[in-house]
Structure 1
Amino acid sequence: MIRPVAFRMNEQTAVNNFFQEDIALKNAEINSKAQVEFDTFVEKLRAVGVNVIVENDDLRMDTPDSIFPNNWISFHSNGDIGLYPMFAENRRRERREEILIRLENEGFKINNIYDYTSAEDEGFFLEGTGSLLLDRVNYKAYCALSPRADEELVIEFCEDFEYSPVIFTANQTVDGNRVPIYHTNVMMCLAENFCVICLDSIDDAVEKKNVVKHLKKDRKEIIAITEAQMHHFAGNMLQLQGNDKKYLVMSAAAHESLNKEQIAAIEKHCEILSSDLTTIETCGGGSARCMMAEVFLPKQAVLKSV
């Protein structure tokens, strides 16, 4: 997780992230509020036993969206890493080699780096696990195509990492028009035994049927949310392992938007952990899941002296 130092509404991402809203506060105050929300969130995660690695953002880089690291990198259990092409030019500066060096210093093993960032030069993008919803057990990559998720790059990723693509388009209504949702992970959350998903956003009946078919085949309980709930970030969740139990992590706004039946369905599988992320959600257009880049890298073997 990246602690922000210059968080604000990013004007470069607002052109196709319709979850962002402007608020009448100075940037310094916005960043201060975001830092409080970030710190409280990290404390809650650590309190239940989630291992959180916090890296501070670099003020010199002027990266207002650095708080969402899952868009530029993904970590895999075989020691591979993916580096991804970003739509906004100022987000490309979020990719920092020193973060990889720190992980190696903390005992994580990095074998190969798949670098897709040259696609930026040609105007094609694929924003990490914002665009790619990875079923790491069944090796499927769900992806809602958008200006930030190019189909050919999805296929290339799947060939490199040996995933099967499940590709579709998810839309939201903006000014009376249906337009693509910028990231898959705001309309869909894939957990161990269930999936929280806004099926109403998949307008094409064939594509919707195909997504449902894959989820049912893999025995995922489908917990449907409405588009209104999606706009409260009820799709932007991540299941994490704590000390002795699993948690579905989400924002307070997402939690409050759920009805009793949805909460009961989730709590059959794991506990809910939520935290207030109002400033981050409003200005950044992302929520709890976007703030966490899961480290699946293997640990280096520790040699003990005799």
Structure 2
Amino acid sequence: MSRFLSIQAPSAIVMIRPHGFTPNPETAADNAFQSRAEQESAQAVARSAYREVTAAAERLEAEGVRVHLFEDRGERDTPDSVFPNNWFSTHPGGHVALYPMYCENRRRERRPDVIEMLKSEYRVQEVIDYSGLEHDGLFLEGTGAMVFDHMARVAYVARSHRADPVALERFSTHFNFEPMAFDSADPSGRPVYHTNVLMCVATEFAMVGLDLVSDARRANEVRARLEESGRDVIALSPHQIANFAGNAIELSGRDGRILALSQRAFDSLTAQQKAVIERSARLVPLAVPTIEMAGGSVRCMIAGIHLSRRHLA
């Protein structure tokens, strides 16, 4: 297994631990991955989510990942705060982006204390704030809407309400990414709400639900673009996508690269698929069934830090 650090796989992350978690009613309209807990009380759901985030953060720290864990005590009515990757992203060279969010209650997730932490512990040269585009009805939900190939400078984007082409073009110009957009649909015909439930790009492999790309020719172009970068392409079935197999993230741990994904996603992968992944990254499944009721999984819970650390006295 390769043991060097990769710009694709960050060694530090931000996570948010919720104290009042609940699936967000404002996002249910276009998020087919969401579900409801019919039997459990709101308090029981919130307690379970708190425990799941705590255990996931502890496991990743044990793997050697630097975890900046922030608390959301529920004062701001932010049911999806556990998914910070949607409102900001970080990039090599000291660049940070803040994003315009589709649902109004998700706009309250943006936290100055997270950005101040990044500035104090990492080298931040500029923060580009796109959140003002919300007033024009233009949305681009961070690394939910975009899946980055940091090495080849490609931003893969499934078109949706949450990935506006004007906002995408503006971001791509500022951050020097080539946008590769495509239409997608789940088996019931609904557009996939976020690209990062459809695909994961790691250093030496990529997992993608090619069957959910609406145009077969475009699906082949996506596969070819990933293969051009030297990656093994693992095609995920619609069933695997529905079980969050695409919602994984490669990280750099103490002993090499790991692939963080949910237990549900791990269980859906075939032995052959796992063998391809494990040629370059060790699989680290995390149990987050309560969090997954909100329509996101492990990738959504993690905002990678692609910044250089400051050398503090």
- For normalisation by structure 1, the TM-score amounts to 0.95
Secondary structure of residue in 2 paired with 1:52 = strand
Q: Which secondary structure state, in structure 1, belongs to the residue aligned with residue 309 of structure 2? A: coil
The amino acid that maps onto 2:309 is K
Whether contact under 8 Å (2:138, 2:166) holds in the other structure is no
Give the corresponding residue for 2:283. Answer: 272
1:80 is the counterpart of 2:95: yes
Partner of 1:192: 203
Matched, 1:163 2:191: no
Q: How far does residue 280 in structure 1 lie from its aligned partner after superposition?
A: 0.5
Runs of 4+ in 1 over 4 A off after TM superposition: none
Over the residues paired in the alignment, what is the CA RMSD in angstroms? 1.1
1:103, distance to aligned residue in structure 2 (A):
2.5
Q: Secondary structure of the equivalent of 2:186?
A: strand
Q: Distance in 1 between matches of 2:75 and 2:300?
A: 23
Q: Is structure 2 residue 243 aligned with structure 1 residue 232?
A: yes
Query: In the alignment, residue 107 of structure 2 is paired with which amino acid?
Result: R
CA drift of 1:236 comes to 0.3
Aligned to 1:28: 43
Which of 168, 183, 193 lines up with 1:182 in the alignment? 193
Are the equivalent residues in 1 in contact too, given 2:187–2:238 (CA < 8 A)?
A: no
SS of 1:172 mapped into structure 2: coil
Q: Give yes or no for contact 2:72–2:81 (8 Å, CA) kept in 1.
A: yes
* Alpha-carbon displacement from aligned partner over 1:10-41 (angstroms, at most 9, x marks no partner): 00000100100011222221110001111111
Q: Say whether residues 1:70 and 2:85 are aligned partners.
A: yes
Structure 2 match to 1:115: 129
Task: Return the alpha-carbon distance in structure 1 between the equivalents of residues 85 and 302 of structure 2.
Answer: 6
Query: Could you tell me which residue of structure 2 aligns to residue 259 of structure 1?
Result: 270
User: 1:53: which partner in 2?
Assistant: 68
Shift of 1:301: 4.2
CA offsets, 1:211-250, max 9 Å, x none?
1121111111100110011010000000011102111110
Aligned amino acid, residue 229 of structure 2: D
Identity of aligned pairs, percent?
Answer: 38
Name the counterpart of 1:299: 309
Q: 2:26 aligns with which of 8, 12, 19?
A: 12
Structure-1 separation of matches of 2:78 and 2:173: 31
Check if 1:98 corresponds to 2:109: no
The 1-side partners of 2:161 and 2:243 are apart by 22
SS of alignment partner, residue 54 of structure 2: helix
Equivalent residue of 1:166, what SS?
strand
Match of 1:287 among 280, 292, 297: 297
Alpha-carbon deviations, 1:82-135, whole Å to 9, x = none?
A: 110111111100001111112333x21221111111121122211000011111
Equivalent residue in structure 1 for 2:232, among 221, 234, 255? 221
Q: Provide the rounded CA distance (Å) in 2 between the counterparts of 1:300 and 1:261.
A: 41
Q: Post-superposition shift, 1:299?
A: 2.1
Q: Which amino acid aligns with 1:225?
A: L
In the alignment, the residues of structure 2 paired with residue 253 and residue 241 of structure 1 have an alpha-carbon distance, to the nearest angstrom, of 22
Higher relative contact order (CA 8 A, sep 6+): 2
- Answer with 63-72 or 205-214: which moved more: 205-214
Task: Read off the aligned partner of 1:39 and give its amino acid letter.
Answer: T
244, 247, 253: which one pairs with 2:258? 247
2-structure distance, mates of 1:103, 1:144: 29
Q: CA deviation at 1:58?
A: 3.8
* Larger displacement relative to structure 2 (94-103 or 288-297): 94-103
**How far apart in 1 are the matches of 2:305 and 2:269?**
28
Deviation at 1:302, TM superposition (A): 4.2
1:140 aligns to what? 154
TM-score of the two chains, using structure 2 as the length reference: 0.93
**2:165 pairs with 148, 151, 160, which one?**
151
Aligned residues: 298
